[in-house]
Structure 1
Amino acid sequence: MRSRGTGVATPVPRAGAARRIRSALAPLLWIGPAIVLIAVVVLWPVVEMVRTSLLKISSSGLTLGSRGAQNYTDLFSEGDLVDVMLRTLVWVVGVVVATMVLSLGLAQLLNARFPGRRVVRWAVIVPWAASVLMTSLIWKWMLDNYFGVVNEVLVDLGVIDKPVNWLAHPTQAMLWMMWVAVFVSLPFASFVILAGLQTVPGEVYEAARVDGAGTFRTYFQITLPLLRPALLIASIINVINVFNSFPIIWAMTQGGPGHATDTTTTFMYKIAFFDQNVGESAAMAVVNFALILVLVLLYLRASRWREEVS
């Protein structure tokens, strides 16, 4: 179109383009609140964590200036860091693997039909619904070398000759804490796998029986592959929860004696509140965050590799 008297073409607004823009922005009305929530609850704390790891902060919380990478230098010069990180890896892998293996069996039991199944399901939820701190304290009292029921039972059964102070020995303490972590992780993983089992069509099992497949073949070639999404979700959430598990270790041993039962989470806490070094503790938090991401990505890669192979 030409404007009168000038002979210059003037653009005409196109209604179609405006409609396309409106249709493209319309989903933001629905996902906008979720994006804002994620930004405030997830992204902003991560940014602040990284920023804090580059600052010098007093014990009262005052920022005293920038330290650059010095907090990371101080962290990696800590003599106990390597042992703590290796112990954390053993802690996470041991607890998650034991939890997933036991959860598979427990989910199969909960999926079976038997009298009182609903009551059993309710009972299984209890360790997960209860406070992790209180569960840890109860187990600490049960393991007491003078009045604990664990020593009393083991002595009565003749397994040990005299009461043992289980939590005073680092290896034994770690094994007991790993058991408590498995105990509180079992319900969630079991119910996620149970939900996966209930989505498997019954016709698949009927077809397997017609083809002459036995129980073990049916389980490993049909049930487990169909449970892959549930196993993936349960494993990833367990990795994150166990990696960041603070109440169990702190309630039972406080990472002691010394740093002998510390993981990166309790080690980070001690740097912040015992050594009064907030910046270095934030650097440990960044490293912790990176380690979780690496573990999750490795697990996802391994799961994708198994899926391609199968």
Structure 2
Amino acid sequence: MPWIGPTLILIAAIVAFPVGYMMWTSTRDLSPYGQDRGSAGLDNYRALFDIQELGAILAHTVVWVVAVVGITLVLSAGLAQFLNKQFPGRTAVRMAILVPWAASVVMTTTIFYYMLDPDVGIANRFLVDIGLLDRGYGFTKQPTPAFLVAIVVAVFVSIPFTTYTILAGLQSIPSEVVEAGRVDGATSWQRYWHLILPQLRPAIAVATIINIINAFNSLPILQVITGSIAGFGADTTTTLTFKLIRQNQQVDTAAAMSVLNFVLIMAIIAIYVKVIRPTQQVDA
């Protein structure tokens, strides 16, 4: 305890206390300016579930997380497999993969936003010049296209971390395991599916959990791409929280939404870990 005590205190200070304080705040009656007017019990949660669009927003959140995490994992697995091979310029390519991760998420998202602007966006201008569009299309001005654009941006900025995590897992697999499969006559697909992929389970689990957390909390991407759209047509639970604060000035209800968001993240991660069992030993 003397050795790990400072670490436990730090964890309690930066994790446990904010979570506990947010849960306590969600049960208070707060004015639009944050003044505590006493206990509200579960009224904030009732007000939250009285929002008619909450069901659609929860559905958007599920689609958002599954699409971003799923597409990122698939693309990153292929990219990591490619980067694990020997080819001229591999170091330069590996460094280039880091660029979206090194750049500011807000800056990257803003670039995509202006590229797709219907009036001045270079992407829209290109599509008009080659004849695919008669005029600029408002990719970020309507809920569904804006939501899809946000997914593309989220995948783009998530690929570097995920690729390097899976690449590290690939490089930790003994070459003798793959060679044994080749000698036994296994095809490339059989070697990957039955030998390599099971060994990648811990690396994929780490990448998945981190991406789930990031996807749930991707406010910069959603705020820039879909934040200007009126209504709740492209909102997830994260953007709803900030709309409750900024537009409705419902600080207490927003606190309840934050708690719900936290519970959803923890539940999804718990189910994922229970089903995948990333720490279970793999018999090669």
TM-score normalised by the shorter chain: which range applies?
Answer: over 0.9
Residue 156 of structure 1 and its aligned partner are, at CA, apart by 3.4
Partner of 2:20: 47
The corresponding residue for 1:224 is 197
Question: Separation in 2 of the partners of 1:235 and 1:197?
Answer: 16
Are the equivalent residues in 2 in contact too, given 1:255–1:266 (CA < 8 A)?
no
Offset at 1:211?
0.6
> SS state of the match for residue 64, structure 1?
strand
- Relative to structure 1, is the Cα distance of residues 106 and 180 closer, same or farther in structure 2, using a 3 angstrom cutoff? same
SS in 2 for 1:68: coil
Aligned counterpart in structure 2 of residue 56 of structure 1, from 29, 34, 42: 29
**TM-score (normalizing by structure 1):** 0.87
**In 2: Cα distance, 1:220 partner to 1:62 partner:** 57
Partner residue, 2:179: 206
- SS of aligned partner of 2:146: helix
Give 3-state SS (helix, strand or coil) of 1:30's partner.
Answer: coil
The residue aligned with 1:70 is 43
> Are 1:135 and 2:146 matched, yes or no?
no
Cα-to-partner distance string for 1:254-303 (whole Å, 9 max, x where unaligned)? 06231111110110011112211111100001110111111111211221
Name structure 1 gaps, 5 residues minimum.
1-27
Structure 2, gaps ≥5 residues long: none
Match of 1:125 in 2: 98
Residue type of the partner of 1:54? T
Equivalents in 2 of 1:186, 1:229: separation in Å?
Answer: 17
Q: Distance in 2 between matches of 1:114 and 1:157?
A: 35
- The 3 A distance-change label for structure 1 pair 156 and 223 is farther
Query: Do the aligned residues in 1 keep the contact of 2:199 with 2:282 (CA within 8 Å)?
Result: no
Q: 1:112 Cα shift?
A: 1.1
In the aligned structure 2, how far is the partner of 1:196 from the partner of 1:157?
Answer: 43
What is the letter of the counterpart of residue 107 of structure 1? A
Q: What amino acid maps onto 2:157 in structure 1?
A: V
Aligned to 1:250, the other structure's residue is in SS state: helix
One-letter amino acid matched to 2:30: I
Percent sequence identity over aligned pairs: 48
Which residue of the other structure, out of 98, 101, 107, is the alignment partner of 2:80?
107
Q: 1:163 aligns with which of 113, 118, 136?
A: 136
Match of 2:214 in 1: 241
Q: Name the CA distance, whole Å, in 1 between partners of 2:131 and 2:200.
A: 42
Indicate whether 1:263 and 2:236 are aligned. yes
Q: Tell me the residue number matched to 1:85.
A: 58
Work out whether residues 181 and 248 of structure 1, in 8 Å CA contact, stay in contact via their aligned partners in 2: yes
Q: Secondary structure at the match of 1:109?
A: helix
Paired with 1:123 and 1:155, the residues of 2 have a C-alpha distance of 30
Q: Distance in 2 between matches of 1:106 and 1:56?
A: 50
AA in 2 matched with 1:76: F
Helix, strand or coil at the partner of 2:231: coil
Contact in 1 for aligned 2:45/2:253 (Cα 8 Å): yes
Say which is worse superposed, 149-158 or 82-91, in terms of deviation. Answer: 149-158
Q: Deviations over 1:234-262 (max 9, x none)?
A: 00100010011100011122062311111
In structure 2, what residue type is equivalent to 1:40? Answer: A
Q: Cα gap change, 1:211/1:255 in structure 2, threshold over 3 Å: closer, same or farther? A: farther
Name the Cα RMSD after superposition. Answer: 1.7
Give the letter for the 1:48 counterpart. Y
Rounded to whole Å, the distance in 1 between the matches of 2:281 and 2:17 is 37
Q: Helix, strand or coil: the match of 2:29?
A: strand
Scaled by the length of structure 2, what TM-score is found? Answer: 0.95
